[in-house]
Amino acid sequence: MKAEPGDSGTTRLSSRRGLIKGAALGVALPSAAALLGPVLATPARAATPAASATASATAALPDFAPVPAASFGPAVNSDGYFVGQIKGNLYWVTDSYYQAMFLTTREGVVVVDAPPTIGNNLLRAIQEVTRSLGRPSRVTHMIYSHNHADHIGGAGLFGGRVERIAHVQTRELLRRAADPNRPLPTTTFKNNLVVEVGGERLELAYHGPNHSPDNIFIYAPAYNTLMLVDVIFPGWAPFKNLAESQDIPGWIGAHETAHAYPWTTLVGGHLGRLGIRADLDVQRDYVGDLQNSVRKTLTTMDPTPFFEKYGATGNGWAIFKTYLDAAAQQAAAPVISAYLGKLAAADVFTLENASAMINSMRIDYDVLGPFGNHA
Ligand SMILES: [Zn+2]
């Protein structure tokens, strides 16, 4: 994590309001209008065909196990956000779906990420805190955790005078995206970057691809806080397909890298609360249990019915699809029952997580089951 002298990749720097208003998790059940804003906020007349179609679509949706109370974070205010002090001059903001972090300094504010769902509320939160502290409220630096629009698509709200810092690959991916909401970084780094502004310090490190090719670790050593986005989901099962990770072995490895940092507080980028070390432990267990269950399924599940049913038709993809779907069901089942009540939404995304783990075990780890080396 220390800057590496002589490494060309190391640099030292000295120097829809209302979109989800009132729709915060655990605070109130969001109405569709509150979630989707003006699009659906047009007066809904009862008993119109559209209204009854909406009602029956709602009724057809599945029910899931209740979210454990410990998975919720603090309530959001009437504007739809919560801002809280992590420690010292370090703060975090959430709308209960996404999270950003910021550091107040003598010279201005350093923000990490700008999720569009928080949007202008991030500016409000910064104003609120800096005003009460009598510190400068101007955002001078913005750090991108990674290139994904759902975490930095609000960056355009901060104007052009901000120094934007990101990994070199983030710049390449954003260049390709050409998205005005995600302006290109002005400073990039390859391995490590220490950001020092107004007496405060953040250590940025690249440890290889994980959730995305460019996802970085952001560490505030004075406050023992690690921000690592889309890897650890405190209190919750990981998002669909193992957090839609582009490099699953890298994503699994990122748990170990995170473990090696001496943090006590984790900002995971999602949902409504901060993480503690026990949250990392339980997610490592979940991922390990899922991996074991998938391995067991791939090495023991009988593929005969799938070949018998579709082999004669010559439809090879039908064999694969039905086999892989059945394997995901079988591998997910014990993990869902083990984590229900421990991790929120274990019954929501574990099937897709098992499916993603199966693909990774097959192609990254060579656990090919019936599709291994021919005798
Ligand atoms: Zn992402």
CA 28 / ligand 1 centre spacing (Å): 26
* Same domain (yes/no): 259, 323: no
Domain boundary among 227, 252, 275: 275
- Pull the structure tokens for residue 165: 């810092």
pTM comes to 0.88
* Same domain (yes/no): 243, 325: no
**Residue 3 belongs to a domain:** no
* Same domain (yes/no): 267, 290: no
CA 151 / ligand 1 centre spacing (Å): 7
What is the rounded CA–CA span in Å between residue 208 and residue 191?
Answer: 9
* Same domain (yes/no): 328, 246: no
* Same domain (yes/no): 325, 345: yes
Query: Which pLDDT score is estimated for 27?
Result: 46
Domain boundary among 244, 275, 306: 275
Query: Which pLDDT score is estimated for 17?
Result: 42
Q: How many other CB atoms are there within 10 angstroms of residue 70's CB atom?
A: 11
CA 370 / ligand 1 centre spacing (Å): 33
Confidence band, pLDDT 50/70/90 cuts, at residue 14:
very low
Give the DSSP letter of residue 243.
Answer: H
Looking at per-residue confidence, does 191 or 26 come out higher?
191
CA 334 / ligand 1 centre spacing (Å): 28
The residue with tokens 């750090």 is 143
CA 145 / ligand 1 centre spacing (Å): 9
Q: Say if residue 343's pLDDT is above 50.
A: yes
CA 310 / ligand 1 centre spacing (Å): 38
* Same domain (yes/no): 208, 235: yes
Which residues sit opposite 104 in a β-bridge?
109
Q: Say if residue 6's pLDDT is above 50.
A: no
Q: Say if residue 12's pLDDT is above 70.
A: no
Residue 271, Cβ density class (10 Å: 0-12 exposed, 13-18 middle, ≥19 buried): buried
- Pull the structure tokens for residue 350: 């574990």
- For the segment 161-189, what is each residue's pLDDT rounded down to a tens digit? 999 999 999 999 999 999 999 999 999 99
| Closest-CA residue to 251 (of 280, 209, 218) | 209
Q: Say if residue 250's pLDDT is above 80.
A: yes
Domain boundary among 230, 246, 275: 275
Reduced to 3 states (helix: H, G, I; strand: E, B; else coil), residue 363 is: helix
Query: Which pLDDT score is estimated for 41?
Result: 38
**Residue 32 belongs to a domain:** no
- For the segment 225-236, what is each residue's pLDDT rounded down to a tens digit? 999 999 999 999
* Same domain (yes/no): 123, 232: yes
**Strand bridging mode 217-220 / 200-205:** antiparallel
- Pull the structure tokens for residue 90: 């370090």
* Same domain (yes/no): 269, 319: no
**Residue 34 belongs to a domain:** no
Q: What angle do CA 272, 278, 280 make, to 5 degrees?
A: 75
Give CA separation, 38 vs 29, 52, 64, in Å: 18, 20, 28
* Same domain (yes/no): 144, 265: yes
**Residue 57 belongs to a domain:** no
Pick the range with the lowest mean pLDDT from 243-257, 328-342, 357-371. Answer: 357-371
CA 329 / ligand 1 centre spacing (Å): 26
Query: Which pLDDT score is estimated for 25?
Result: 53
CA 270 / ligand 1 centre spacing (Å): 10
What is the rounded CA–CA span in Å between residue 32 and residue 54?
Answer: 10
* Same domain (yes/no): 124, 265: yes
**Residue 259 belongs to a domain:** yes
- Average pLDDT value for residue range 342-354: 98
How many folded domains does the chain comprise?
Answer: 2
**Residue 33 belongs to a domain:** no
Confidence band, pLDDT 50/70/90 cuts, at residue 21:
very low
Query: Which pLDDT score is estimated for 51?
Result: 85
* Same domain (yes/no): 103, 125: yes
**Residue 64 belongs to a domain:** no
- Average pLDDT value for residue range 320-340: 98
What residues make up the domain containing 346? 286-371
- Average pLDDT value for residue range 51-70: 93
- Average pLDDT value for residue range 31-58: 60
Pick the range with the lowest mean pLDDT from 34-43, 168-177, 329-338. Answer: 34-43
**Residue 4 belongs to a domain:** no
Question: What does pLDDT average to over the chain?
Answer: 90
